[in-house]
Amino acid sequence: MNKKKIVLAEDNSTLSLLLKFRLEKEGYELFVATDGKEALELIESQSPDLILSDIMMPFVSGLEVISHLRNKLNLSTPIIVFSSAGQEEMVLKAFNLGANDFMGKPFSPNELVIRIKRLIGT
């Protein structure tokens, strides 16, 4: 069986590495982008089953990633966004644009795994 693909867009490289490690152990295939621009390229080339994206990123923000995905590419790939304290407004915007779930930082990687499994299974 093919592994399910996940694109992770996050500008904090340590967190990316931590999550990549963890999710690969759970049997997913990870593609890591450090900004929104790279994320969009990966999404188009890999057509992942799930997208994890930070809301605030250099160049292209998480919001723009969602809007591009839903409106330009017309894809319904599930999206989980990461947000920090004080970004409540942005989270609301993210949901309006079509995000499926959100995780407020700081979060526990275990909880993220549970939510991912709920959305796409293993």
Partner 1 sequence: MVDYQYIYDYYSNTPHLIKWVWWVSALLAISIIVLAVYLKFIRLSLRKKSNETAKFKSEYEALLVEYLYSGDESGKLTDSQKLIINRIKDSIKTPSKRKIIVSVLYNLMNEVSGEMSDSIKTFYYETGLIYYAFERLKSKKWNIIGKGISELRRFGIDEASHVIAPFINHPKSEVRSETHLYMVNLFLFEGLSFLDNLKAPLSEWIQIQLLETLQRFDNQEICDIRPWLKSENNSVVLFALKLAQIYNQFEVKETLMDLLAHENKEIRIETIDVLAHLYGIEAKEMLKTNFNDLSLEEQISFFKLLEKLVVPDDEPFVEAYLFHKNFEIQLLALKILKEINFDKYIGFTKSSNNNKSLAMVKAVKML
Partner 2 sequence: MDTSSVKIILQILHYLFFGYAFAAIISYIILSFISSKETIEYIKKRSFVNYKDILSSKMSPSITIIAPAYNESLNIVENVRSLLSNHYVNYNVVIVNDGSKDDSLERLIKAYDLEKVHYIVNEKITTKPLREGIFKSKNPAFEKLMVVDKENGGKADALNMGLNISTSKYVACIDVDCLLLEDALQKMIKPFLEVTDSKVIAAGGVIRIANSCEIRGGKLIDVNLPKNLLVQSQILEYLRAFLLGRMAWSRLNGLLVISGAFGIFDKEIAIAVGGYDTNTVGEDMEIIVRMRRYMEEKGEKYKVSYIPDPLCWTEAPDTYKVFISQRNRWTRGTIETLRKHRKIGFNPKYGWFGLVSYPYWLIFERLAPIFEAIGLVYFMILIVLQEVRWDFAISFFLLAYLFSVVFSIVALYSEELTFHQYKKKGTGFKLVLLSAIEPFLLHPFVLYAAIRGNYDYYFNKKKKWGNMVRKGLVNN
CA dihedral sign of residues 14, 29, 65, 112: negative
**Sole binder of partner 2 in the list 13, 46, 71, 84 (CB under 8 A):** 84
* 13 lies in the site for partner 1, by CB under 8 A: yes
| Binding flags for partner 2, 1-40, as an x/- string (CB under 8 A) | ----------------------------------------
For partner 1 (CB under 8 A), the number of binding residues is: 15
* 85 lies in the site for partner 2, by CB under 8 A: yes
Residue 19: φ, ψ to 5°: -70, -40
* 107 lies in the site for partner 1, by CB under 8 A: yes
Q: Which residue in 40, 35, 85, 42 sits closest to 66, CA to CA?
A: 40
Three-point CA angle 55, 97, 62, nearest 5°:
20
CB 57 within 8 A of CB 36: yes
Residues in contact with partner 1 by CB under 8 A are 12-15, 17-18, 21-22, 85-86, 105-109
